[in-house]
Every structure is written in C-alpha cells, then in structure tokens.
Amino acid sequence: MKILITDPLSEEGVDYLKQQPDFEVVCRSDLSLDALLSEVRDADGLIVRSKTQVTQEVIENASQLRVIGRAGAGVDNIDLKAATRKGVVVMNTPGGNSVSVAEHTFALLLALARRISFADPSLRSGVWNKKAFIGQELQNKTLGLVGLGKIGSIMAQRATSFQLKVLAYDPFVSEDYTHDLGVELRTLEEVLSEADFVSLHAPLNEKTKGMICKETLQLMKKGAFLINAARGELVVEEDLADALEQGHLGGAALDVFENEPNVHPRLLASDHTVLTPHIAASTVEAQSKVGYDIAQQVAAYLQDEVIVNAVNFPSMTPKELEQIQPYLGLAEKLGSFISQVSSIRLSEIGIRYYGDFAKLNYKPISNYILKAILKPMLSEEINQVNARNYAEERGISVIETVSSRPRSYSNLISIQLRSPEKTEWIEGAILHKGNYRLVSIDGIPIETELGEHILFLRNKDTPGVIGLVGTILGKAKINIASFVLGRNEDGAHAVAVVNTDGKIPEEVMQEIRNIPAVQYLLLVRL
C-alpha cells in the first residue's frame, strides 16, 4: 500500500510508517498540481499538513485513496464533502499541538499588553525610551474566548494563573463544563463587549467565516485587543485595519491570515499589530507528536480499519472495534436483506439497538447498515464512510435509538424502512459462535439463518404452500438448508424464508410464483 506524504512530517512519523512491512512510503513536498495529481493516483493514504490543498480534483483523481491524514487540527485545506462522497476517511490530530498553540497565543497576548515586540526593535536601534512602551497588567482584566475546544480550554486554565476573569462563547459546550474550568458562558455579543482581550479559537466553517468584521469589531471595548491564532478567515482584515487606524482597538496580534502567505499591507504597516507567520504549532514537541500520531492513525486504518480522530466518520478505538466487529457482518446482512425485499419509496430509516448495544459505540454499526441499504438503490460507489452523507443528500432521515426494553435476544438490531404510507421492518441478532440470525419480519417471529442464497416469499396462509415449494425445489435438485414459516396474528398472511445450498434458476422461481397462494417472491443474495 502506498502512503504519500506531501508536507514536511516529523522523522518519528515517517520512520514509523517505513517500519511497517505493508507500506511504500513516498515523501514529496512542494509538488505542483500536476505532480500531485500524478502521485496521488495510486495512493492508498495521503498525509498532509496545512500547505497541501486537497481539493475535489485531487480526491477524484485518487482512484485507490482510502484515508487522508492531517498532521494538526484544522482540515480547511481538505475538501471534506468530496472526501466523504468518495468514501475516504479524513483524520486529524486535534490535541497534538494544543499546548503549543495555547502557549503561543498567550505569548501574543503578553506581547500586546506589554508592547514587547515594539520595544525590542526600538532598543536595538539605539533608542532608550521607557515612556513610549507603557503596557498593561493582565491581573483583574477580562479575557474573552471565542471557542472553548481543546486550545480554548487550555487558555482558560492558563488565564487563572494571571488572575484574569474568563468569559467564553461556544454554542457546543455545557455550563457544567465551563463551570469546572472557572469560565462564564456568554453570548458572542457579551464576550466581545465585555472583554479587554478577545482570543479566537473557533473552527472555520460557513457560519464562522468573517465573524470578526466591521459590525462585531464595533461591539468590542474601545482600546481592547484582538488575538487570532486559529484561522485567518475568521477575521475580515480590511475591517480590522480600519478599527486599528481609527483607534477603536488598542492592538491586534495575528498568527494566521486571510490569504497566506500574503499579509494585508495595512496590518504590516501598523504600529498596533504583532504578527507571526503561522508558527503557533511550530514547536519541536508539537511537530513530533502530531507527525507520529497521524502516522499511527493512518497505519491503523489501512491495516486494521481502526478509525481514530476522524472528522467525517465515527471514531473507534481498537477496543471498540474489537467489541463491535461481530456486529458489522450482521449489520450488513440485515441492511442488504431489507433493502432487497423492500418495495417502498424510502423517506426514513429507523435503527434501534437493544440489550448489549447500550454499552457499545453503535454509530459505526449504523453506517454499515446504511451502506447495505443504499448500495442497491444508487449508482454511486457507497461505503460505510459516505453512506450517511448520501442518505442526507436524498432527504432520507436516519434515526438511531437504544432501548432498554427486555427482548428475547441480548444483542438485537431492529431496522425499519419508512415512507409516508408504509413501514417495512426486520430484526436480527447474533446467536452462539457468531451465527447471524433473522428473527422477525414485520413483527412476525421467524428465526432463521442469513445464508448466501435466500428465497423470500409472502403468501396467503393456506394449507399446502410449504409442500408445493419444497416439491418444486426438490424436482429442480435444489437442496433446502432450512425452511422457516411465520404467520401474522390474524393468521391471514404468512412469510417464509428458505435458505438453499445454491442458486435458484429463474424458471424455478416462475414455477413457485405460479402457486396461487404466493403473493410475493424474491431471491435474496447476501
């Protein structure tokens, strides 16, 4: 398997990959687009940092690509939609450089508060001017954090040492979490208007792009400071330059920029900015850690399908994978079975787990079910990574629940396909020695194996159907492995599942269809 590394990666990470017998490791930095398209064509794994732009064109050109690894947290240089659509797992290392970034952010904050970056060149030029560089203490000031993920949380912890009051805006964290950090959770408007220092730690997406602009900058205190070591596009640089030149802000410290490596000329010329070239994560410790971590993650996925820190698929630890591995086969068989026998215009998929599943990471199991359900319906290449995305694109709702209600099986999976007019429903479980069993259809108990060749029929519950089907199969020399019949409560209709040792020719199928009581007949292949 080929792993292509297109940005500088730590020696520890490269060496780890080279020590694996399964991999051909190719390190090619500073590739042109044509060279990148050529190299990635036969790659199974791609590892990048922030420089390589993994566009839709790159992803579509990679015919064997299974995983993209980002050595670092941000993945805005990777087209996630294109990767997900193609079924490529995208992984990052969100915690590997968090301490380095938080420490650099604090360094920027201190440099602003004490005007260090201005005093240093002045002194080096031979000027001793103490009065020109009067700074501010941090004690009893307010720090506003926009985003309280890993880096924001480390910032909050460090801030307490400086006796800063900390406010935070993050719509995805609970008040219990912020309380434990000693942080007050506020709206974005309150954070901006009350903080003396505002530090950005939000991800870049459609909602956050340009969030610091003319309108939001006007909310900030006169003389307040802005620090951004997260994503350059969070800030509209033209508006920030206006706010600095008009004296509304006391200063800004930036490690990231809208159009890297280009920096807005007004920010470069300002006496109120501290600027560094995207180096917050550039420490020996951070680069070593994220390089080694992403190498391990990519290798684990390609070798054993262990998924860690995926941004477009539920992550699984090796222990979780071991726990759910037996159920992935059951999930695919059940999903494939109901997809083949279903006749409804699908609008919703309901998946319910019973018993032991309450203790498991069941999300990946659901993805295997969705893959099996959608695969016969769509012309696109469907796998467990992109199945949920394809369902969403087609307006198919996916509802997953876990029930504590006692059932006859300790590991039951229930799947319902729903339309506004109709619901079709099957359930399955694993018995001893990993034996996959179908245990009910539309609420009718029918415990049987899920073999390779299954004859499925619905019929009126009249005498002689079993005998006629058995006679036709026997005459065609088709051996029956099992024949299970179930009836609904009123006894008017029945379903049958017949496992055979081989394929059933179409002429034999037609002969069974001609039985007057048979209402529906299908050969299911699992």
Active site amino acids: 231, 260, 278
Q: What is the DSSP letter of 443?
A: T
Start-to-end CA distance of the chain, whole Å, equals 29
Tell me the backbone φ, ψ of residue 333, rounded to 5 degrees.
-70, -45
What's the CA gap between 428 and 57, in Å, rounded? 41
Side chain identity, residue 523: L
- Percent helix, strand, coil in the chain, to 5, is 40, 25, 35
Task: Count Cα neighbours of 157 within 13 Å in the Cβ-side half-sphere.
Answer: 12
Q: How far apart are CA 111 and CA 227, in angstroms?
A: 11
Residue-by-residue DSSP string for 261-326: TB--HHHHH-TTEEE--S-TT-SHHHHHHHHHHHHHHHHHHHHH----SBSSS----HHHHHHHHH
CA distance 223 to 354: 58
Give residue for tokens 């460090």: 158
Rounded alpha-carbon distances, angstroms, from residue 514 to 53, 335, 468, 486, 525: 60, 29, 11, 21, 22
Q: How far apart are CA 89 and CA 44, in angstroms?
A: 11
Q: Which residues contact 216 (CB under 8 A, 6 or more apart)?
A: 188, 192
201 within 8 A of 149, measured Cβ to Cβ: yes
The first and second tokens of residue 408, run together, are: 């006859």
Strands 480-487 and 493-500 come out as antiparallel
Neighbours of 361 (CB within 10 A): 16
